[in-house]
Structure 1
């Protein structure tokens, strides 16, 4: 659309002609979302930062205060620890998140309070063992952790 509007032609009719010509050529037929309703619907109020929110969602970026982000990370770490294949990995996951929780406890950031204390690694390992015994995976926890497939104790 490098063509310039000719002098003396009303802008609106020139734009309408450009759109009609593009439709006739099929320029709009392969656009993503063609024939689908606009996201958000007509019942939502106008948000001037809609594009920022969509970009953040697409990129998987979260704009949570640091304490809330750490709470979420701690919950995710606990779930990952319960799903871990060995006791060694459970201890590693919980120890790493505990370091972050302790740092946040000692130098609180702005925002809501953390409301979380470090996990007791032994309690999490005990719970992990109970869950493993309950689901029939048969892992026994010794000093090196349960022996996984391949006998490596991973």
Structure 2
């Protein structure tokens, strides 16, 4: 019976490269001359540090552009509230990986509500979709990629015939 998995993940090595590229760009930009600004990657969290709040927003835009250039979907970024102190502004950006339980339930509900001939099942941090025909599975992928699909960075892996 054909099946595939719906996952939400990214390549951590590419995330490291994107953070390194963003650090290099910030060091070379004219509007950041003489400013102590940097990115620090700690696991799946990127710490953004600058002197003022306005610079944080510019740095997050640079980070977003570098992630997209490296093939990482920008929707995996969970931007936290900035921490402003006297001399430093700091903001955390979490890179989300894996489907949370409520997101997986929403995907299952969407697939079942579309009356497709597929059977979705939640398995940990992924959703396995199986059906009798390959065409049914491709319809499910098209539905999730369409405008009705969830606003999540989804990948479709482990397609088996």
TM-score of the superposition, structure 1-length normalised?
0.28
Higher relative CO (Cα under 8 Å, sequence separation at least 6) belongs to 2
Max Rg structure: 1
Larger proportion of strand: 2
TM-score (norm 2): 0.28
Which structure features the higher share of helix residues? 1
